[in-house]
Structure 1
Amino acid sequence: MTAHAAPGGSARAESPHTTALSAARRARELAELRERDTPVDLVVIGGGITGAGIALDAASRGLETVLVEAHDLAFGTSRWSSKLAHGGLRYLATGNVGIARRSAVERGILLERTAPHLVRPLAQVVPVYRDTPPLGAVLPGLGFAAGTLLSRLAGTRADRLPGARVLRAGSVARYVPGVRRHGLAFGHLNWDCQLVDDARLVTAVARTAAGHGARVLTRVRVLEATGTQVTVRDELGRNPGEKEGDDEFTISARAVVSATGVWAGETTPGVRVRPSRGTHLVIRSAALGDPAGALTVPVPGETNRFCFAIPAEFDRLHVGLTDVDAPGPIPDVPTPDRHEIDFLLDVINRALETELTRDDVIGTFAGLRPLVDSGDGDTADLSREHALITADNGLITITGGKLTEYRLMAEQAVDLVVRKTGVAAAPCRTADLPLVGAPGHHERVRPSASASALPATPSDGRPTAPAARGRLPASLVARFGQESATVVTESLLDRPLERVADGLDVTRAEFSYAVTHEGALTVDDILDRRSRVGLVPADRAAAEPVAREALDAAR
């Protein structure tokens, strides 16, 4: 058992566990839980950003923690976001200062301490035209100025996140070359934060939790849950020699937390969640002249809604965002409808020199926001506050909230577990706990046998030598930070730095690492969540052979 420091004492010793998630680790930990006859401290249901955050918070406090997910890490809402770690300007404009302040604080924690390798500043430009109504011309600038003040009050320095300012028309075009220049008067510039990828953040949080001893188990479906036990089924089926029913078993726990997002009502009857669908389009970056920032366009007739085109990996842009009620059965993978696609094109085209058409759309994705149902109001007006609910059977449910606030939500959930159970736990430390790949994260890596013949690389968290970094693709370093060299040396595939397909800045080593260290069990896990290649069907087809090769090599 790893020793804890007393409150106010020295920092806790680093965990001796590896952060590597693999099929072998999953099988071993499932077998251990089947044979166990004493309760663990905490079971977390759901492998999205909230569930992974709770697992990390609990495990880093010393709680014996199990996370179970019916599908894969980041399978649901957590991979369909706008990939922003933003300061909550929209909520400031609606008078919800609490969410805006918390968002600004949590954004600063991600940017400066816990995940600086996965979070980066993003310029946002709102063009203002000579025919823009006076209120519409002024409001974005006032909001951006208030956001800058909030950022400073949250402790984020100007050298990390610059302040808002007004741009001349020519400068607007330098940020977004494809902007419509006729009638362009000036622009508002704001700086927010962008995630390299939302699913990659979930994976990093889950792996960091595993490094502190959490059992992170995907493809394990919860059949029944109470506040002290869950009955689960191994979705991969029985192993050879096992009897019928051996794929189902019960895990006892001192506490159980459901972090299942829009599916919260399925786990906890009586919890009402009202899903809101947010749709994005994927287009080639060249269609807007390869912008250096996000083009942000007000929605006509709205004072506080915008559509945007945000630079993304693989020379793509993500155009979003809708906010429509999504009643009825909740699908595993939501899909946009044609009205949403047309709406996004219509709004963004208002500020483009050359209009986008459906032919420019090379992919789409949609996610469902888990809004706590108040029984009235449009989904765009419902609160983004999160809720912690304890059912009559003791099951704790957390739902609602925003991706940027995942760490705070996790802290509050684990605080509740500690109060209810009286289990011994250290104070929360996730505000200063670097995620795997971030500077300051120290892992005792257990190298695979395949790496023994490759050049040695630092595995103790020290920065990689400049010479080694110079040989690595910048895109790999952007996704893996201080783990980058290890990704290559641990590769089970030959030609590790070769691209998985023409035009895709992803190496063969990354697909191998997804299987050996990031818990990918299927081709879909690799293409749709460990990388985002799968957002574009043509790119997905081109990269699929290497994904299969990576799985075969691991077997």
Structure 2
Amino acid sequence: MNARTTPDTALSAARRARELAGLRERTTPVDLVVIGGGITGTGIALDAASRGLEVVLLEAHDLAFGTSRWSSKLAHGGLRYLATGNVGIARRSAVERGILLDRTAPHLVRPLAQVVPVFRDTPPLGAVLPGLGFVAGTLLSRLAGTGADRLPGARIVGPRRVAAYVPGVRREGLRFGHVNWDCQLVDDARLVTAVARTAAGHGAQVITRARVVEASGTQVTVRDEAPIHDDDAGADDAREFTLSARAVISATGVWAGETAPEVRVRPSRGTHLVIDAAALGHPEGALTVPVPGETNRFCFALPAGFGRLHVGLTDVDAPGPIPDVPESSDDEIDFLLDVVNRALATALNRDDVLGTFAGLRPLVDSGASGETADLSREHAVLESENGLITITGGKLTEYRLMAEQAVDLVVDRTGLPASPCRTADLPLVGAPGHPVAVGAGGATSHGRLPASLVERYGQEAAAVVTASLLDRPLEPVAEGLDVTRAEFSYAVTHEGALTVDDILDRRSRVGLAPADRAAAEAAAQEAVGLIS
């Protein structure tokens, strides 16, 4: 594809202002308005735009501001749901994982070994069940079309191999380990950004800091909440406008009730700890430890960026007002440490916790009582009396399928002319086959590309450096962090970042550890200064 036909996937403050101004003056309906810039909303925008529909996505905060950045960063095959008898979610998850791994986002998804150590004091059932589940998971992978060359089959390994995967494992009493292969995202927020930019390349208008204050099935009232200077400030009503649409979809997750009060969501909080990977000997696999007294719940220590581990995951009821940024409780932190320490040679303590993060799962409230861990992870597509369509629930791995179903419903309800869904074979920005910046290469005129940059940007890696408006583009943003100055520049010029928080907390994820955040803040401020 030549330069003339190469899609414009760059999101910037200038593009936002231009498109927002056009929407203010608009007198005819757009085909579809999507409310919410998480993985579900951006997935819907991509699906609809790639079918030829005119799409506007409106996000009150920033891309991946909510649940989509607080996940375990796994594209998993639904093994847990197979164990609970929910074959449907397990099968769909395995299929969608294969699509991400092989076609749409191979640069953002990588195989990951899950290791469950078995000790002499492990109960007999606990010694057997993980292996049976892993074998079932392997069968599910094969039925979904993922071959052994992509994800090896489940197996049992000896103590030495367990320790090779996770050097910090407790050796005393270690008998063997169950190993299963699943998939890990380089980062969940990066996936959201890639989906949003791919949608923009197909013509979708992706507008952040645009809060929908009122919505129906054919109209939304929008308030521009972008940062403004005092001399630009006007009355709040001067920043509001109304936009008409043939259809409106709310994909706001745990906030679904704000636009559709009849939609009932029961949030569940999942907490993770950020730990220095050196504490476990820089593991190559995910240490997976059964929760005592449970048959299908585990805590794990997952390798992560910047030489960190993410230890998770809790599943606790989170009633009451929904915060913009959930916080981990002391009980959850202690719970995670207690469970994972059962399998470690040297116990972790509070001093080892470099940071925490928590997300709220948008579980559909069916009225059933009991623990949130036992509630269904099925998604729901609901239609209000005023015609507003709401989609909520579900799993990150299934975002593409959820989007396909939502857009199918819109096309069916409105009769809009649209081509069939294409997203199962549509490479995201940075993936092989996408027409933007094909060929990452190994070096630029500034020097050889860091492996971490290629891992995060795939085929775009060289373009990230070439496009940098900051000097010393390959220099780290702070000592000890494998994020370059070029990446902070690219966040502003191509990924829609408008503030320091956007860069540190969502585009780079440096902010997951407060000390890292503080060290990189000056470079982020410099990048934000590029916005004219």
Corresponding pairs, count: 526
Q: Which aligned pairs between 1:244-263 and structure 2 lie closer than 5 A?
A: 244=235, 245-263=237-255
Find the residue that maps to 2:505 and give its secondary structure: helix
Contact 1:54-1:411 within 8 A present in 2 as well: yes
Contact 1:279-1:340 within 8 A present in 2 as well: yes
Instruction: Identify the match of residue 51 of structure 1 among 27, 35, 41.
Output: 41
Q: CA offsets, 1:435-494, max 9 Å, x none?
A: 000000013xxxxxxxxxxxxxxx3x2x23455498100000000000000000000000
The letter for the 2-side match of 1:292 is E
Contact 1:78-1:198 within 8 A present in 2 as well: yes
Match of 1:292?
Answer: 284
Deviation, structure 1 residue 16: 5.1
Contact 1:296-1:306 within 8 A present in 2 as well: yes
Q: Which aligned pairs between 1:347-358 and structure 2 lie closer than 5 A?
A: 347-358=339-350
Deviation, structure 1 residue 130: 1.1
Match of 1:464?
Answer: 440
Find the residue that maps to 2:483 and give its secondary structure: strand
Inter-partner Cα distance in structure 1 for 2:314 and 2:226: 35
Contact 2:440-2:454 within 8 A present in 1 as well: no
Match of 2:26?
Answer: 36
Deviation, structure 1 residue 15: 6.8
Find the residue that maps to 1:374 and give its secondary structure: coil
Inter-partner Cα distance in structure 1 for 2:30 and 2:491: 28
Instruction: Identify the match of residue 367 of structure 2 among 364, 375, 389.
Output: 375
The letter for the 2-side match of 1:299 is V
Deviation, structure 1 residue 495: 0.2
Deviation, structure 1 residue 144: 0.3
Match of 2:384?
Answer: 391
Match of 2:432?
Answer: 439
**Structure-2-length-normalised TM-score:** 0.97
* Segments ≥4 residues shifted beyond 3 Å: 14-17, 237-244, 464-470
- 1:524 equivalenced with 2:501 (yes/no): yes
Inter-partner Cα distance in structure 2 for 1:467 and 1:66: 37
Match of 1:475?
Answer: 452
Match of 1:276?
Answer: 268
Instruction: Identify the match of residue 488 of structure 1 among 457, 460, 465.
Output: 465
Instruction: Identify the match of residue 501 of structure 1 among 478, 481, 489.
Output: 478
**Structure-1-length-normalised TM-score:** 0.93
Deviation, structure 1 residue 148: 0.3
Contact 1:15-1:213 within 8 A present in 2 as well: no
Inter-partner Cα distance in structure 1 for 2:291 and 2:61: 36
The letter for the 1-side match of 2:11 is L
Instruction: Identify the match of residue 81 of structure 2 among 91, 94, 106.
Output: 91
Inter-partner Cα distance in structure 2 for 1:356 and 1:237: 41
Change (3 A) 1:303 1:15: farther
Inter-partner Cα distance in structure 2 for 1:217 and 1:512: 19
Match of 1:157?
Answer: 147
Find the residue that maps to 1:82 and give its secondary structure: coil
Contact 1:521-1:551 within 8 A present in 2 as well: yes
Deviation, structure 1 residue 554: 3.4
- 1:417 equivalenced with 2:417 (yes/no): no
Inter-partner Cα distance in structure 2 for 1:527 and 1:281: 18
Find the residue that maps to 1:500 and give its secondary structure: coil
Q: Which aligned pairs between 1:185-204 and structure 2 lie closer than 5 A?
A: 185-204=175-194
Contact 1:16-1:212 within 8 A present in 2 as well: no
Change (3 A) 1:250 1:504: same
Inter-partner Cα distance in structure 2 for 1:421 and 1:414: 10
The letter for the 2-side match of 1:170 is R
Q: CA offsets, 1:121-168, max 9 Å, x none?
A: 001100001121111100000000000000000001111111110010
Q: Which aligned pairs between 1:160-239 and structure 2 lie closer than 5 A?
A: 160-236=150-226
Inter-partner Cα distance in structure 1 for 2:491 and 2:331: 36
Q: CA offsets, 1:498-530, max 9 Å, x none?
A: 000001000000000000000000000000000
Contact 2:31-2:55 within 8 A present in 1 as well: yes
Match of 1:62?
Answer: 52
Instruction: Identify the match of residue 335 of structure 2 among 343, 354, 365.
Output: 343
- 1:317 equivalenced with 2:309 (yes/no): yes
Deviation, structure 1 residue 17: 3.7
Inter-partner Cα distance in structure 1 for 2:79 and 2:146: 15
Instruction: Identify the match of residue 540 of structure 1 among 517, 526, 531.
Output: 517
Match of 1:450?
Answer: none
Find the residue that maps to 1:156 and give its secondary structure: coil
The letter for the 2-side match of 1:530 is R
Contact 2:270-2:316 within 8 A present in 1 as well: yes
Inter-partner Cα distance in structure 2 for 1:211 and 1:535: 30
- 1:80 equivalenced with 2:57 (yes/no): no
Deviation, structure 1 residue 299: 0.3
Inter-partner Cα distance in structure 1 for 2:5 and 2:190: 22
Find the residue that maps to 2:182 and give its secondary structure: strand
Change (3 A) 1:375 1:484: same
Match of 1:24?
Answer: 14
Inter-partner Cα distance in structure 1 for 2:234 and 2:182: 54
Deviation, structure 1 residue 553: 2.5
The letter for the 1-side match of 2:463 is T
Contact 1:227-1:393 within 8 A present in 2 as well: yes
Find the residue that maps to 2:530 and give its secondary structure: helix
Find the residue that maps to 1:539 and give its secondary structure: helix
Inter-partner Cα distance in structure 2 for 1:335 and 1:418: 39
Deviation, structure 1 residue 241: 6.8
Deviation, structure 1 residue 551: 1.1
Q: CA offsets, 1:348-398, max 9 Å, x none?
A: 000000000000000000000000001122100000000000000000000
Change (3 A) 1:392 1:504: same
Find the residue that maps to 1:554 and give its secondary structure: coil
Match of 2:113?
Answer: 123
Inter-partner Cα distance in structure 1 for 2:223 and 2:5: 29
Inter-partner Cα distance in structure 2 for 1:251 and 1:222: 10
Inter-partner Cα distance in structure 1 for 2:510 and 2:456: 13
Q: CA offsets, 1:375-432, max 9 Å, x none?
A: 1221000000000000000000000000000000000000000000000001000000
